[in-house]
Amino acid sequence: MRAGRRFRTAVAGGLAALLCAATLSGCGPETVGAAARPSPKPSPTPVWDRSPASIAAVGDSITRGFDACSVLADCPEVSWSTGTETAVNSLALRLLGPAGAAARSWNLARTGARMAELPEQMARAAAEKPELVTVMAGANDACRDTPELMTPVADFKASFAASMARLRAGAPKAQVYVTSVPDLKRLWSTGRDNPMSRQIWKLGICGSMLADPEDLGADAEKRRARVHERVIAYNGALREVCAADPRCRYDGGAVFGFAFDGEQLSPWDFFHPSKDGQARLAEIAYRQVTRV
């Protein structure tokens, strides 16, 4: 019996070898010496979840809905990220529904915040154990009284890296959606011919870019170009830090590239998004978070 079994095994191996040679296909030792190949490994589960069940928002006045509902006041219910007003249809409403947006979203942004404050906001976000954190910060780092006061790019990048580290310390699996800093020069171009916006900007809103909006002289143009270049550099820093984290998704410049028109800017400052502008930000965020 043993001799017969050895004979059959040898014959089977020989036939397999002849078949491989006849078909000119690549056959490894497992083909010749075994009746079955090992089963293929299952595909890895994608890191990015397009339907998170909770959201925390960090950042500045845009995420707080500042000047969207009334003058000089936050209006978080219309926030593009965590708002509950149906007219805006925030990211939270789209992903979590009304009940989820009310119960499982947290708006931790602060009006006036710059990137240096983000590590502390991220630590607070991590404590909530959210499945997604949205980040919109950087406009205040560029919007200073003069270009000389803008946050250096190296400091900006270091603060964002520290923010990600603080989040990972408390919520290692939280996903992060990072928006680009809006194009402040396009904002100036949109509003500079509007008498009302020019009057309001004189009060000191984003002086580095919006001061003397009608001045097209060489010095003014150089000043605006300097701010514009700094915003681009900030977005590069956001992209680079985010790319180092497999659970982070940068918007690819979508917010920077969006052209806010007059209807999408606050009627009180012609700078912050109106409710309509918040809705446009929500649309962009939803597309980015749910894309394959």
Is the per-residue pLDDT at 239 higher than 60? yes
Is the per-residue pLDDT at 96 higher than 70? yes
Is the per-residue pLDDT at 242 higher than 50? yes
Is the per-residue pLDDT at 91 higher than 90? yes
Burial class for 77, CB neighbours closer than 10 Å (0-12, 13-18, 19+): middle
Is the per-residue pLDDT at 86 higher than 90? yes
**Stretch 143-155: mean pLDDT, rounded?**
98
**Stretch 96-121: mean pLDDT, rounded?**
98
pLDDT given for residue 110 in this prediction: 98
List Cα–Cα distances, 230 to 11, 32, 252, in angstroms: 74, 64, 17
DSSP string for residues in 33-95: H-SSPPPPPPPPPPS--SS-S-EEEEESHHHHTTTSSSTT---GGG-TTT---TTT--HHHHH
**Stretch 154-174: mean pLDDT, rounded?**
98
**Stretch 133-157: mean pLDDT, rounded?**
98
Query: Quick one: pLDDT band at residue 39, thresholds 50, 70, 90?
Result: low
3-state secondary structure of 212: coil
pLDDT given for residue 27 in this prediction: 42
**Stretch 82-86: mean pLDDT, rounded?**
98
How far apart are the C-alpha atoms of 133 and 174, rounded to whole Å?
7
Q: Which residues make beta-bridge pairs with 62?
A: none
pTM of the shown model: 0.84
Burial class for 3, CB neighbours closer than 10 Å (0-12, 13-18, 19+): exposed
Burial class for 7, CB neighbours closer than 10 Å (0-12, 13-18, 19+): exposed
Is the per-residue pLDDT at 63 higher than 60? yes
Query: Quick one: pLDDT band at residue 100, thresholds 50, 70, 90?
Result: very high
Is the per-residue pLDDT at 248 higher than 80? yes
User: Where do the structural domains in the chain lie, given as residue ranges?
Assistant: 2-33, 55-290
Is the per-residue pLDDT at 288 higher than 90? yes
Is the per-residue pLDDT at 144 higher than 70? yes
**Stretch 195-214: mean pLDDT, rounded?**
94
Percentage of residues of the chain with pLDDT beyond 70: 84
User: How confident is the model over 40-60, as pLDDT tens digits?
Assistant: 555 445 689 999 999 999 999
Is the per-residue pLDDT at 193 higher than 70? yes
Please list, in sequence order, all residues whose beta carbon lies within 8 angstroms of the beta carbon of residue 112, skipping any fewer than 6 positions away.
60, 61, 140
Give the DSSP letter of residue 179. P
How far apart are the C-alpha atoms of 179 and 136, rounded to whole Å?
5
How far apart are the C-alpha atoms of 106 and 99, rounded to whole Å?
13
Percentage of residues of the chain with pLDDT beyond 90: 83
pLDDT given for residue 47 in this prediction: 83
Mean pLDDT over all residues of the chain? 89
Is the per-residue pLDDT at 213 higher than 70? yes
Retrieve residue 201's tokens.
């900007």
**Stretch 83-108: mean pLDDT, rounded?**
98
pLDDT given for residue 24 in this prediction: 38
Task: Give helix 218-243 / helix 184-191 axis angle, nearest 10°.
Answer: 140
Indicate if the alpha-carbon torsion angle 289, 256, 210, 263 is positive or negative. Answer: negative
Query: Quick one: pLDDT band at residue 254, thresholds 50, 70, 90?
Result: very high
CATH classification of 55-290 is 2.40.70.10, yes or no? no
pLDDT given for residue 38 in this prediction: 56
Retrieve residue 52's tokens.
């998170």
